[in-house]
Amino acid sequence: MSDERAAGHDDASALLSAAAAWRDQDPDDRTRAELDALIEEARAGHDASLADLRDRFATRLAFGTAGLRGALGAGPNRMNRVLVAQAAAGFAAFLLGREREPSIVIGYDGRTNSDVFARDTAEIMTGAGVRAIVLPRALPTPVLAFAVRHLDVSAGVMVTASHNPAQDNGYKVYLGGADAGSQIVSPVDAEIARCIDDAATRPIGELTRSDDYRESGDDLVGEYVSRTAALAGTSATGRQPRVVYTAMHGVGWEVARRVFATAGFMEPIPVAEQSAPDPAFPTVAFPNPEEPGALDLAFATADRVEADLIIANDPDADRLAVAVPTSDGWRRLSGNEVGALLGWRAAERARAADADGTLAASIVSSPALREVARRYDLDYADTLTGFKWVSRVGGLLYGYEEALGYLVDPDKVRDKDGISAAVDLLALATELHTAGSSVAEHLVAFDAEFGAYASSQISVRVDDLDRIAALTARLRQSPPARVGTHDVDHVDDFRDGFGDFPAGDVLRYWFTDGSRVIVRPSGTEPKLKVYIDSSSTEGDAVARRAAAEASVADLDAGMRALLA
């Protein structure tokens, strides 16, 4: 046997041994059988099965500031009960290293195995000496984020993959205390990851488990409901619009309808096919209200009942989408449009209360909120992408990110909250409806008041992550002097850090007319993302909108040509 063939044989043998060891500790019949079949086929010489095992065992799902997220399946590069047990044991060790008597609250959504992963986490946490509380049923992520603050616990875990495809699940981590219920940030993620790696060196059967954890009562959900409903004030006494709501096969409807009823709003008309949790997400190709086609059933329902407005939550209800009727059919508003309107509303609330504070948005969100803050004499902060950064801004009154995430009530929750945002939006829509106006007309009023802000986004999906690095390297080595008809004024390169921002693979182009383009890799998907923003204050609202959108269209075409 040649040295090369011997090395390949040894590699395959080690891989099969690792797979067998993982299988032997796996408490899940389905994933254990999955590995059994792959091991048997690989031993029989099936190259595809051997390649599948290599993909599953070549690396582990990385634990980072977004926690864990990946496809369900057997092996360390998938979401499964072994990996979750290791994560829970590592996180427990981290918490015990910080506090003498740590505590945690654990929530889960309606995805496959979310409840199982939550119970495993609770048993391992309790067995390790961490006081654990589990939410009473599948509930939205904002309820878990609320519980971390409301129960004053050391930490929180939410088992969810948010708006990812049906085959995925995930594990979000929050910290209480000085972190005030926000998701983790660096360098804590690396500290937890090291603890998880240590826990993974021994079989999970050696971990102490206990079922002596507590299940919270519905009173906690009721407190979330009452505090969220209070955001509406007396708005519901006005003439209410007819509203269609979709939960996108997620867990939003039960809590959202309670909130709407408590606030005094008429119950929205649900998209019946998507109201109940269903981990298969059978009516959508991708359960993200931003994706083309995701709101088609909502549009059809709204047409049938002649609705005035559509609101949608993603499957774990931490995001909000809004659609309005036009002469050409229904139009989903962008996250920047909703973010600007809710920011304007937050600024009005602050003025009415004679309150100071800060409006905040991620750097890839529209500059419109900065202008709102300036006009209302409020502070403004740009943050890194990810709501974990927005939620940590000092004196925060309101924050948002363009990916449909809004925080309208920072005292209650320190994460994006699609249900709270829906209440605030419904209150606004009712006030406008009572006055004979609409959300669409209010967008025109925003343009007249602050200037028209237009945005677009390009996503370059790749099969090989090296292509993303190659694209950004090319932009650095040969920086464009012009994009479309726009002349580049200067470029901010975040590679070695920029201002108060840490180092990152981000490029921000500023153009001579004030337009902006940001290029960065996605933090959760194999994509290079491009964010384009332009604005105009020339002429009336209609002229401003046309100019801003024409500028964005030119930059969009130019960037697509540049990245081709």
> Annotated active-site positions, please?
162
Ramachandran angles phi, psi of 20, nearest 5°: -65, -40
- Tokens 């990996």 belong to 83
Burial 317-338 (b: 16+ CB within 10 A, else e): bbbbbbbbbeeeebebbbbbbb
Beta-carbon neighbour count of residue 115 at 10 Å? 16
3-state secondary structure 94-121: HHHHHCCCCEEEEEECCCCCHHHHHHHH
By the 8 A CB rule, do 109 and 251 touch? Answer: yes
What does 15-29 look like in DSSP terms, one character per residue? HHHHHHHHHHH---H
Q: Where are the strands (E) in 363-438, listed by range?
A: 379-383, 396-401, 405-407
Placement of tokens 């040969």 in the chain: 478
What kind and span of H or E run contains 36? Answer: helix 29-43
Rounded CA gap, 253 and 261, in Å?
12
Q: What separation in angstroms does the CA of 234 have from each of 264, 265, 365, 426?
A: 8, 10, 31, 12
Which residues make Cβ contacts (< 8 Å) with residue 66, sequence separation at least 6?
170, 172, 183, 386, 523, 524
Which residues sit opposite 536 in a β-bridge? Answer: 452
From 499, 471, 332, 322, select the one nearest 406 (Cα to Cα): 322
d(CA 397, CA 359): 6
Q: What is the 8-class DSSP label of residue 87?
A: H
The sign of the CA dihedral 130, 133, 134, 140 is: negative
Contact by Cβ (8 Å): 93, 86: no
E-assigned strand segments in 38-151: 68-71, 103-108, 131-134
Bridge pairing between strands 68-71 and 168-175: antiparallel
Residues in CB range of 417: below 8 A, 6 or more apart: 142, 145, 228, 318, 406, 407, 408, 409
Task: Decide: 104 and 95 in contact? Cβ < 8 Å.
Answer: yes
Q: Which two tokens stand for residue 438?
A: 């609409």
Provide the 8-state DSSP code for 211.
Answer: -
Half-sphere exposure of residue 506, counting CA atoms within 13 Å on the CB side?
Answer: 20
Backbone angles phi, psi at 512, to 5 degrees: -65, -20
